[in-house]
Amino acid sequence: MNKKVFFLLFPFVIWPGIVFFASAQTSLREVYKVAGKDSLALEIYFPDTNDKPKPAMIFFFGGGWNQGSIEQFRPHAEHFVQKGLITVLVDYRVRSRQQTSPFDALEDAKSAIRYLKLHAERLAIDTSKIIASGGSAGGHLAAATALISGFNGKEDPEISTQPAALVLFNPVIDNGPGGYGYERIGAHYKDFSPLHNLSEGAPPTLFFLGTNDQLIPVVTAQYYAMVMKKVGSYCELILYEGEGHGFFNVRNKEIYLQTLEETEAFLRKTGLMPQSN
C-alpha cells in the first residue's frame, strides 16, 4: 500500500475552542472517479497499527448538494483514526462547482464506496465493517448508499454499496412533497428519498438532530425511527434540545465532543469499534 506521511509543522492545531494535538499522520489521496473534466478524490487516514483489515468510516460533507467541502468532517476523520478506524473524506460533485444535480452526487457517493471495496485488500479495509456518515445532504448520501438501488455509475453493480452502519448528522432523509429538495428531485423522490425506501435489512443507524432544525422536522426523524423499527432494524435517534441545523460541527465544542462520545458508544454497541478501543 502506497501511503503518504504528512508531518504537521506545529505541535498542536488550534480550532476555535478546541486543541488538536498533532503527530505524524499516515494518509493517502486517491482519485476514485473521473467525471467529465473532474477528478474526484478520497482522502484516506490510516491508524498507526498493523495492516490487519480494519473498520472504515466514510464521511460525506453537507451543503444541499450545491456546495460544501471535505473540510467539514476532517476533525471527525482525525478523531476516529486515533480510535483505530480507517477514515475517509469523500469529495463529490456539487452544483456550484460542476453544475450537477443531486442524482450525480448520489452516483459519486456510491462510486466511492465501490472503489473502497474494490481496493479493500490493498487499503486493509474490512468490507464487512464500513460505516457511512454525513451531515445534511451528506447524510442523505450516506443513507442512500444503503437504501437506494438506482443512480449507479459505471462500476461493477455486483459490488454492493450497502454499509454495515450509518451515522447521520441532521440528515436529509425525506425528499418527497414537503420534504427537503423536492423542487429539484420531483417525481424521482420515490427512488431517491431514504424515508421512502426503508425496508428489511436496513443497517443500524445513529441519527442526530436538533429540535430547532429549520430543514429537518423532528416528526420526520421520529417517523424514520418508527419505520426502521417496523422493518426490524435498529435506529437510535438522539435529539439535541433547542439546537438548529449544523449544531454538531466542530465550532460547537461541547456538542461536537458529546456527539463523538455518542458515536463511539454506538459503534461499540454495533461491534464496529476496534477492540482496543
Give the containing element (helix H, strand E) for 185: helix 182-185
Is 17 inside a domain boundary?
Answer: no
Verdict on whether the full-model pTM lies above 0.85: yes
* HEC string for 63-122: CCCCCCCHHHHHHHHHHHHCCCCEEEEECCCCHHHHCCCHHHHHHHHHHHHHHHHHCHHH
Place of cell 454506538: 266
Report yes or no on 274 lying in a domain: no
| CATH number of the domain where residue 190 is located | 3.40.50.1820
Q: What is the DSSP string of 121-169?
A: HHHTEEEEEEEEEEETHHHHHHHHHHH------SS-TTS----SEEEEE
Q: In this predicted model, what pLDDT tens digit does every residue of 148-157 receive, in sequence order?
A: 999 999 999 9
| Domain membership flag for residue 6 | no
User: Considering the domain boundaries, does residue 277 fall inside one?
Assistant: no
Is the distance from CB of 94 to CB of 21 less than 8 angstroms? no
Identify whether 16 is part of a domain.
Answer: no
**Element housing 219 (H / E):** helix 218-230
- How far lies 61's CA from each of 171, 215, 222, 255, 276, in Å? 11, 16, 23, 18, 28
Structural domain boundaries enclosing 157:
27-269
235-238 CB contacts, 8 Å cutoff, 24+ apart: 235/204, 235/205, 235/207, 236/204, 236/205, 236/206, 236/207, 236/266, 237/207, 237/209, 238/206, 238/207, 238/208, 238/209, 238/262
DSSP single-letter state for residue 226? H
- Coil, helix or strand at residue 181: coil
Residues of the chain below pLDDT 50: 1-24
- Give the pLDDT of residue 276: 66
pLDDT at 136: 98
Q: Per the structure, how many domains does the chain have?
A: 1
Q: Do the domain assignments include residue 93? A: yes
Per-residue pLDDT at 251 = 95
Work out the burial of residue 177: count CB atoms within 10 Å of its CB; fewer than 13 is exposed, 13-18 middle, 19 or more buried: exposed
Per DSSP, 216 falls in state S
The reported pLDDT for the residue numbered 22 is 37
Assigned domain for 1 exists: no
11 within some domain: no
Please give the pLDDT value at position 19: 36
- Give the per-residue pLDDT at 8: 31
